Structure 1
């Protein structure tokens, strides 16, 4: 019997006759038996690799063969745009098989949600935050709604696993499993990751069923076409894009929303049909742009990482990357958007506008060609999520005994790895702080908890990530998107000017209490602000940058301009040697330690070297010392660090790190310090770095 023949006959019929498919792709065939057997699995394939059907077809087959009733499948995505994109496709498959599919997220109306509660679909497309809302809402009988859940499909699971949303998701699944009274099959869809077995174990969590990583050989072994060019500015990048690949569909990735807007304006000024997609545009604006682009031919869509995920914008001809992403995994996601059509190949053109981004691009490509992909690393010790789950359970159960919290979520791996005493200590602290209160052993939300999280029916409890203060922007009744409130801080008394959706706007009125700004079109170009933190580079990437500078080989795919810049940079860093870091003193008593160790490790070592100079600055590539007290003492201190072990190294954690922990006020300072200390450990990086020796150079003052 073939794998295809194992599917339910009705599904086989519609795959062949309604969809017109001649067969299944390798991943789709390989997934059938494990899913039919109830295994937990990670399905690995590039973007547009058929992962959705690979998971959903055998799940539909089980649904038909085993006569599942009620809400039996949850399909979870990290972003609403991806859910919207999948809704039509999965609803069509469900329609063919006589099964229903519904969509629930923050943009869905209350009336549609009420219909879902009254008559649950077979499959519900949603987010972890919306599941949390359903669990705690007084308008939802969560016991009845989730009683029949048997399988959960998690799209882009790698996007969850690397941060606290992943722990939140697993916690919510533990609670739903308790309500359903069964172990729920977990299927994760992912692009290439460096540690798929670890990711599978993370996803399966406390479950007992067999686990599988399904990763068949790539269907297309054609070597991708990757080119790197040096353009020097965003304006020059726009000129290059306008002249290249005319008549083709081009997806341009830019790693900030403000630069997306800036590039779009430049392209439109050059007569290029340009669309925009980023997370701060309204749903209507993004959907209109993505649909227009998918139906166009000679056009460009400029996007942040939002289109890195599997949102369908039709067949693409080209991917262009302004500067460089921060991980190989992200690069693979982006290049995977191309090469879908028969006879086409994957491709990516890097247009570097800054020297550091140029080097980062070359380093990423070097790691990629060696087969390196970053491992997914869930953040350590998520006790602030345990605090959030305790409050959510108090609402869900309308009061809960402290000992029962672990009956709901204690088996979740992020919590199970912490001692019972430490978990109990979190609840004790929350009781003492008034965030929780106890009425004869029954725990509820205390007055301090209501003040901190009770606004808008405890909306702050539903998500585990923090958001900056944003203002929604309207043109008449049309919502355009949202910008940071700093956008409206102007030095003179004139109206604030901003750019949103690739167009210029002038502010006419701001309703600060409701966080709404009203605008009208403007001929004068403005600028919008969004706040995002600069990413510290991984140790492996920083070392790869050093390797690029030290090597005398010219990588493949560099334009003549890029080759010229690389030669210049190698001349500038000609003192670098393989296997060494270099401490350079200047004639003014300053020094720079070029070690390419990454910002986290440099920040940790900075704390141990703080007494050696007036001021220290830690960065990804180096550590800068202003006014060194004693050159000999600094050299000795660095060599002592390299000769020692990592037990004295810890990143100096300021208030900015604490602010990353939503619900930090629910934890004692001791617990906060311990959690952050484990999360920002540099032990592994230091073990590699300590093998590198130190060279010392002196720059003499010119006569």
Structure 2
């Protein structure tokens, strides 16, 4: 292998330590733009060598340009992913006399102090930990971050799709101001539908002034139908799925994805009943419990690990033979992440087996696969109107600087669009509510912020996502994970049994004040409930499901029983779809408009059709309930006369509670922020332009 652009020591170790014959196409293509200091988005499937594609040229720059001190940040959305990457990145860094170290929520105080006294060259961390360092009284951020030159953001699509992305960009703008120089931004991502747009978002406030490149040679080479051996099967129940898994692929290592924690626990119990060596991973298990399961799985053969999306990102669980999907994920992007777990060995193909247990799961799977076979991937879009992040950042900068000028605070973010035309109203609201105080033209932390966020050194302020208040489950001295309070409060006959880590546990004591639940092993079977397992579907996916109902099968292997079940689904739903337009279905006195548009578009339609749509309904993904036949007659005229861009869905108090920092915004801005995020104006406009077809239920 010969690439004179990489540092000779890096090349030496690639050949002699890693024993590579050459670089992958992504790794080769990334060298030139990164060495030239360009911002970059590196796209490749899971296990496509993205970390090395960024690390090798960055280490070359560090050695060639004599970077010293803390000069590179490596940011991930998950601590477990950081833990997984750190040994590898540290080894690469040592090749050129550099060090890489971890700093996140699990890093002990002693290790943190050593890092502050002798910073590594590369720091692996999370955005929340970065924010924590900026506002900590134990860190001098102007000294600690003075030499920053580059940041590598792994799984950048996972950040960009929610508020953690806006928070990360805001922190980056502050870091650039502290460092007094531009920080090169390199994003690593699986396939997305809008790479150029994602890269511009990643560049932040100076997107028009910074050179940038999307690097995705493998995706260009594989344009057209994606490669992969995919089978769609229908088994009708979780016990049947367990039976199929136990009989198929003996001797192989299988990763099974489920769409809820309940399904994970139920399937894992059934597999163990079939004497299949089974491990479990989901977000309600403790970190230690997940880590033990993932390590045991990585070292074993002829076994199964059952997981929610916790194993969707690039955490290494060893060499997989097969991915099995129970029902379907809610996006093509998610499926691509999962499919990419297989086919890593030379001569093997990426593969996935769908085992659907319900008619809804089969239709969803067929819809996802129909989109996938067409080469479609959803665009990653940052959430609209991050005004609550703007409020959080104003509080954070006052913590970082002690006080900041009322007329100069905007300079910290250099025009980053988290601050819209309501920025001054947000500042005034923070001052009025005593979260901030204003004196002599300066802003500083007020008593309400001290009281609300001051505990644990303002840790609640640096975390921008809201977790459900759950109870920690403890057996003896061992923490198993967490459960939703509803599991502990609903009435039960006999002992209270919960399921966690694919085992039954009897609750022996609940410490309500400390939110702890003590348990002991039990042989009594039970089913678990968790909150938040379902969400709205995209316009594109629901429309793909409609296409399946209209007779279009995905171009994958479909088992005989899946094909038969699809025909039954089409027969059962034929009255709800028409190739000639969207169906208005009269069922007695009720009229349902089958929009097939997703919950956000339907929420927008309901809000815009006051007096025609039933305002009391909860928006679903498939239809809108109208106010009877007479109201439906006015629908065509109403659709033509509306300007959909101005329509905002109704916001419930429960939705406000789910937006962290909403309480520090003026109430009208908090409501507007959520309403704008609930809306799908493009979907509503597409529906409004389509013809209508009347059907009558018989």
TM bin (shorter chain): over 0.9
CA contact (8 A) 2:369 2:554 kept: no
Counterparts in 2 of 1:655-666, with a 5 A limit? 655-666=653-664
Counterparts in 2 of 1:484-633, with a 5 A limit? 484-492=484-492, 495-532=495-532, 534-551=534-551, 555-575=555-575, 576-587=577-588, 589-609=589-609, 611-612=611-612, 616-625=617-626, 628-629=627-628, 631-633=629-631
Q: Which moved more, 1:675-684 or 1:596-605?
A: 675-684
Counterpart position of 1:465: 465
- SS of match in other structure, 1:585: strand
Counterpart position of 1:279: 283
User: Aligned pair count?
Assistant: 691
Cα 1:574/1:283, change in 2 over 3 Å:
closer
Counterpart position of 1:430: 430
CA contact (8 A) 2:584 2:593 kept: yes
Structure 1 distance, partners of 2:506, 2:96, is: 51
Counterpart position of 2:196: 197
Q: Which moved more, 1:679-688 or 1:422-431?
A: 679-688
State the shift of 1:341 in Å. Answer: 0.5
Counterpart position of 1:301: 305
**Structure 1 unaligned runs (5+)?**
none
Measured on the aligned residues, the alpha-carbon RMSD in Å equals 2.0
Structure 2 distance, partners of 1:385, 1:65, is: 38
1:335 aligns with 2:336: no
1:678 aligns with 2:685: no
Counterparts in 2 of 1:340-419, with a 5 A limit? 340-415=344-419, 418-419=420-421
Q: TM-score, normalised by structure 2?
A: 0.95
Counterparts in 2 of 1:64-463, with a 5 A limit? 64-207=63-206, 208-218=209-219, 223-415=227-419, 418-419=420-421, 422-463=422-463
Q: Which moved more, 1:527-536 or 1:241-250?
A: 527-536
Structure 1 distance, partners of 2:300, 2:521, is: 25
Deviation by residue 1:292-347 (Cα, 9 ceiling, x = unmatched): 11111100011111111000111111001111001111111110111110010011
Structure 2 distance, partners of 1:157, 1:136, is: 24
Deviation by residue 1:221-259 (Cα, 9 ceiling, x = unmatched): 983111111111111111111111111010001111222
State the shift of 1:489 in Å. Answer: 1.8
Match of 1:668 among 666, 669, 694: 666
State the shift of 1:144 in Å. Answer: 1.4
Structure 2 distance, partners of 1:660, 1:282, is: 23
Deviation by residue 1:414-460 (Cα, 9 ceiling, x = unmatched): 33xx23xx212211111011111123333222122222222222121
Q: TM-score, normalised by structure 1?
A: 0.95
Cα 1:442/1:608, change in 2 over 3 Å:
closer
Q: Which moved more, 1:650-659 or 1:245-254?
A: 650-659
**Structure 2 unaligned runs (5+)?**
none
CA contact (8 A) 1:350 1:361 kept: yes
Structure 2 distance, partners of 1:554, 1:284, is: 40
State the shift of 1:140 in Å. Answer: 1.5
Q: Which moved more, 1:652-661 or 1:207-216?
A: 652-661
Structure 2 distance, partners of 1:613, 1:214, is: 47
State the shift of 1:185 in Å. Answer: 0.3
Deviation by residue 1:514-552 (Cα, 9 ceiling, x = unmatched): 222222211112444432152111111111111111126
Counterpart position of 2:689: 691
Q: Which moved more, 1:22-31 or 1:549-558?
A: 549-558
CA contact (8 A) 2:583 2:694 kept: yes
Structure 1 distance, partners of 2:373, 2:553, is: 14
Match of 1:654 among 652, 655, 659: 652
Deviation by residue 1:93-135 (Cα, 9 ceiling, x = unmatched): 2233321111111111111111111111111111000111111
Structure 2 distance, partners of 1:510, 1:4, is: 62
CA contact (8 A) 2:505 2:521 kept: yes
State the shift of 1:490 in Å. Answer: 4.4
CA contact (8 A) 1:321 1:350 kept: yes
State the shift of 1:494 in Å. Answer: 5.2
CA contact (8 A) 2:507 2:518 kept: yes
Counterpart position of 2:8: 9
CA contact (8 A) 2:604 2:684 kept: no
